[in-house]
Amino acid sequence: MELDIVKDINNKDRILILSDIDFIIDSLKLYFQNYDIVDLRNPSEALKLLREEHFDLMILDYIIDSVHIENIVPEIRSFNKNIYILLITEPKDLVSPLETIKKLDVQSYYERSESFDQLVLLVESALRSVHQLETIQEINEKLTKTNKLLEQSYLDSIEILKNTVEAKDIYTKGHSSRVAEYSKLIGEKLNLSSDEMHTLQVGSLFHDIGKIGISDSILLKDSPLTMDEYEKIKEHPIIGTHILSNANIFSDILPIVKYHHEYFDGSGYPDKLVGESIPLLARIVSVADAFDAMTSKRSYRDASTFEEAKEEIKRCAGSQFDPAIAKVFLNILNNDSEKIMQIHKDF
């Protein structure tokens, strides 16, 4: 079990020395009087203490009571991967010191000499490194906490805005959620990356956000729209883009919001983009959005059946829809119809 990083009551750096040579222990304790030092001769006792208490640094003799360090260090690393370990060796002990250090998973070594000056510098350097890593860990923990709060605020904003749109029109309740789920199925079949899937999910939830700016008299009309009213409806991608463009967190989904009504043949709106000049994620949402619109009841018409919607998607592949994406969705409708029906039921 990993130990929480907690200093001793005096906030001193803690050093554990594992050696059976009195001269080494006495010299180290003399040089490092300002630290909290614990010295042990028995490897088993050292392992037990390391499991129970926190130490910033461990100083090991290369050979202790005939127990080779290569047996001790892996045991330590099995439960404590972070403690800084410094080996004390005889010049002849390590044939290739750097390779041995890498193999043993220790941070540094000291070749024993008459002067301990180098060891003092190594210990001080080790403790500075430990302090820097602790600072980085604290910063990362704070950033993680902050990012989680931002992500939750982001998701809360999505839900609030989505509900605001759906509250304007009872007939579109659940529409954005269904479009998001249908889009997700298509994205999975296209092997989109995790980042693309996230953008697709959020963008499809927000694709109709611009309808906030459309008059209720048009949205709630119980008969077919006039030409002028339809032109007003066609403004919602631009309105939605304008609403979201003021917040950087929504920048990735703007192409979906703006272009989900573009047609593959260039006859859509607002910019009459053609073919693959329409962003991929917008082309996906276009198919999912149309399918849900066809299979949902409106105030002025009944819902189409799934078979009727499939035929319409086939008919419009290459004109309204990207034919490749239409093919993928038709395959889903044919082979995974239970998933489609469950989405339609759940939302």
How would you write the pLDDT of the chain (347 residues) with one tens digit per residue? 333 434 444 567 888 888 877 877 888 788 888 888 888 888 888 889 888 888 888 888 766 554 566 678 888 888 888 788 888 877 665 555 556 666 667 788 777 776 677 778 888 888 888 887 777 778 777 777 777 777 677 667 767 766 776 776 666 678 989 999 999 999 999 999 999 999 999 999 889 988 888 877 787 777 888 898 899 999 999 988 988 887 777 899 999 999 999 999 999 999 999 999 999 999 999 999 999 999 988 767 788 999 999 999 999 999 999 999 999 999 999 999 999 999 988 88
Residue 326 and residue 208 in one domain:
yes
Cα separation of 291 and 76, whole Å?
A: 59
Residue 127 and residue 197 in one domain:
no
- Predicted confidence at residue 197, as pLDDT, reads 96
This prediction has a pTM of 0.59
Cα separation of 185 and 271, whole Å?
A: 27
Residue 118 and residue 235 in one domain:
no
Residue 254 and residue 187 in one domain:
yes
Residue 136 and residue 176 in one domain:
no
Query: What's the CATH code of the domain at 256?
Result: 1.10.3210.10
Asked if residue 3 belongs to a domain, the reply is no
Which one of 12, 145, 162, 211 is the catalytic residue?
211
Query: What's the CATH code of the domain at 57?
Result: 3.40.50.2300
Q: Which of 140, 156, 189 is the last residue of a domain?
A: 140
Asked if residue 164 belongs to a domain, the reply is no
Residue 227 and residue 337 in one domain:
yes
Residue 218 and residue 258 in one domain:
yes
Residue 228 and residue 283 in one domain:
yes
Asked if residue 158 belongs to a domain, the reply is no
Cα separation of 28 and 119, whole Å?
A: 9
Q: Which of 95, 121, 140 is the last residue of a domain?
A: 140
- Predicted confidence at residue 4, as pLDDT, reads 40
Active site residue 234: no
Contacts with 135 (C-beta within 8 Å, 6 or more apart), sequence order: none
Residue 113 and residue 197 in one domain:
no
Cα separation of 43 and 94, whole Å?
A: 20
Residue 88 and residue 236 in one domain:
no
Asked if residue 234 belongs to a domain, the reply is yes
Asked if residue 284 belongs to a domain, the reply is yes
17: left (phi over 0), alpha (psi -120 to 50) or beta: beta
Asked if residue 2 belongs to a domain, the reply is no
Asked if residue 298 belongs to a domain, the reply is yes
Residue 102 and residue 225 in one domain:
no
Residue 182 and residue 292 in one domain:
yes
| Burial state string for 33-51 with b = 16 or more CB within 10 A and e = fewer than 16 | eebbbebbbebeebbeebe
- Predicted confidence at residue 237, as pLDDT, reads 94
Nearest to 261 by CA among 238, 242, 245: 238
Range of the domain at 276: 169-346
Count of structural domains within the chain? 2
